[in-house]
Amino acid sequence: MNPIFQVVISTILRLKRTCPKCTESQIVPASKRLENVRCKFCGADIPPRK
């Protein structure tokens, strides 16, 4: 696999978060990586992945 493609995929996977309330997945901005984000589907706060 193209190494650049692998970096892109791993970055996306790291930014992907699953809402604990509605279990929808969404990509959060890299700048919000360490913060709670609001679920765009149900409005619940999603904590950063440990």
Please state the closest distance from residue 11 (CB atom) to Zn ion, in A: 22
Which residue in 17, 28, 37, 39 binds Zn ion (CB under 5 A)? Answer: 39
Q: Would you count residue 28 as binding Zn ion (CB under 5 A)? A: no
Q: Would you count residue 22 as binding Zn ion (CB under 5 A)? A: yes
Centre a 10 Å sphere on the Cβ of residue 13 and count the other Cβ atoms it contains: 9
Q: Would you count residue 37 as binding Zn ion (CB under 5 A)? A: no
Q: Would you count residue 41 as binding Zn ion (CB under 5 A)? A: yes
Q: Quick one: CA dihedral 50, 29, 11, 46, positive or negative?
A: positive
